[in-house]
């Protein structure tokens, strides 16, 4: 049976993301440097795509591409451990085949969703995650994805939080530098107890201090919200944001602040997801 869902079902059930990109097939960092100045003519629109985190976790790659194509979904983020099987263990020939499947379709392979994390107290575990991130970056390069999503998952127990923040930042800097050599970005999901706080994530990004490391806004409720608004938290991270996960469109989360120009203070950031009319970016709304 072909597991096709209609748009209403898809938008109601799926995990979603916004990702700013000027043209498919080039790195997000390069796109920010070539974006048009405000007011210049260019392609400006929202596009819907897919994150396989929940809805498509049991779909193989041909099914993902076929369903996205039939539903008019423009892009996909492939989360690790799912049936699609796009993992670092793929051979060179298998990677070429994955790349070809997307190249032969209208669907953009936007990114790879790893579970790599760098907050743990054991230095050996951190090192293993850094090396795994490098493997994902090589995989992203080989299959044509633009970025690799990573995450913190809270603060290490018994370790002073500022020390953990510095540790995460150092690991991200290393990963960002390695991925840059491959033309791939590292995107840090705003994730985990305490680390999902935008002020803490801002400190992590400052510690990382690498232009190839960006943020995936994760639509965490309630830790994103101050007085019912995401304005303050989003503005703290706007300069770093490369994609935005939206996990439901039918709950109380204030998505309108992401989808419409309700945050004028972040319009100057070329990767911001509001004020699109003045940014020159095409946006992928990935569900």
Confidence of residue 54 (pLDDT cuts 50, 70, 90): confident
Look-up of token digits 């201090």: 209
Q: Which of 52-56, 75-79, 141-145 has the highest mean pLDDT?
A: 141-145
In the chain, what are the domains? Answer: 7-286 (3.20.20.150)
Tell me the average pLDDT of the chain: 78
Tokens of 26: 């080039």
pLDDT at 27 over 50: no
Residue of 250, 254, 248, 209 whose CA lies nearest to 233? 254
Residue indicated by tokens 């439901």 = 248
Residue carrying structure tokens 């994760």? 218
Coil vs helix vs strand at 263: coil
Using DSSP, state whether 189 is helix, strand or coil: strand
What pLDDT digit, counting tens, does each position of 184-213 carry? 999 999 999 999 999 999 999 999 999 999
| pTM for this prediction | 0.79
Rg (CA), the chain: 18
Predicted confidence (pLDDT) per residue in 120-132, tens digit: 999 999 999 999 9
Percent of the chain whose predicted confidence (pLDDT) is above 90: 54
d(CA 145, CA 71): 21
Residues 168-176, mean pLDDT to the nearest whole number: 98
Calculate mean pLDDT across residues 205-230: 90
Distance, in Å, from the CA atom of 185 to the CA atom of 126, rounded to the nearest integer, reads 19
pLDDT at residue number 19: 37
């Amino acid at each position: 049976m072909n597991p096709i869902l209609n748009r209403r079902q898809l938008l109601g059930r799926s995990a979603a993301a916004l990702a700013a990109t000027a043209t498919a097939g080039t790195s997000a960092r390069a796109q920010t440097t070539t974006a048009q100045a405000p007011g210049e003519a260019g392609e400006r629109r929202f596009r819907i795509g897919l994150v396989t985190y929940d809805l498509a976790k049991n779909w193989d790659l041909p099914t993902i591409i076929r369903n996205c194509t039939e539903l008019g979904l423009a892009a996909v983020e492939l989360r690790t451990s799912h049936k699609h099987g796009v993992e670092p263990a793929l051979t060179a020939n298998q990677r070429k085949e994955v790349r070809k499947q997307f190249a032969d379709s209208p669907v953009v392979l936007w990114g790879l969703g790893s579970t790599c994390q760098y907050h743990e107290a054991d230095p050996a575990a951190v090192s293993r995650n850094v090396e795994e991130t490098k493997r994902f970056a090589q995989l992203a390069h080989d299959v044509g994805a633009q970025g690799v999503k990573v995450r913190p998952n809270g603060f290490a127990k018994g370790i002073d939080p500022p020390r953990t923040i510095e540790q995460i930042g150092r690991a991200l800097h290393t990963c960002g530098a390695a991925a840059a050599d491959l033309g791939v970005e590292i995107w840090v999901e705003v994730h985990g107890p305490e680390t999902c706080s935008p002020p803490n994530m801002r400190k992590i990004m400052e510690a990382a201090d690498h232009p190839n490391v960006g943020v995936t806004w994760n639509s965490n409720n309630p830790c994103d919200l101050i007085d019912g608004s995401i304005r303050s938290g989003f503005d703290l991270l706007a300069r770093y944001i490369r994609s935005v996960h939206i996990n439901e469109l039918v709950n109380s989360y204030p998505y309108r602040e992401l989808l419409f120009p309700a945050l004028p203070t972040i319009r100057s950031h070329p990767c911001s997801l509001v004020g699109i009319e003045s940014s020159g970016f095409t946006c992928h709304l990935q569900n």
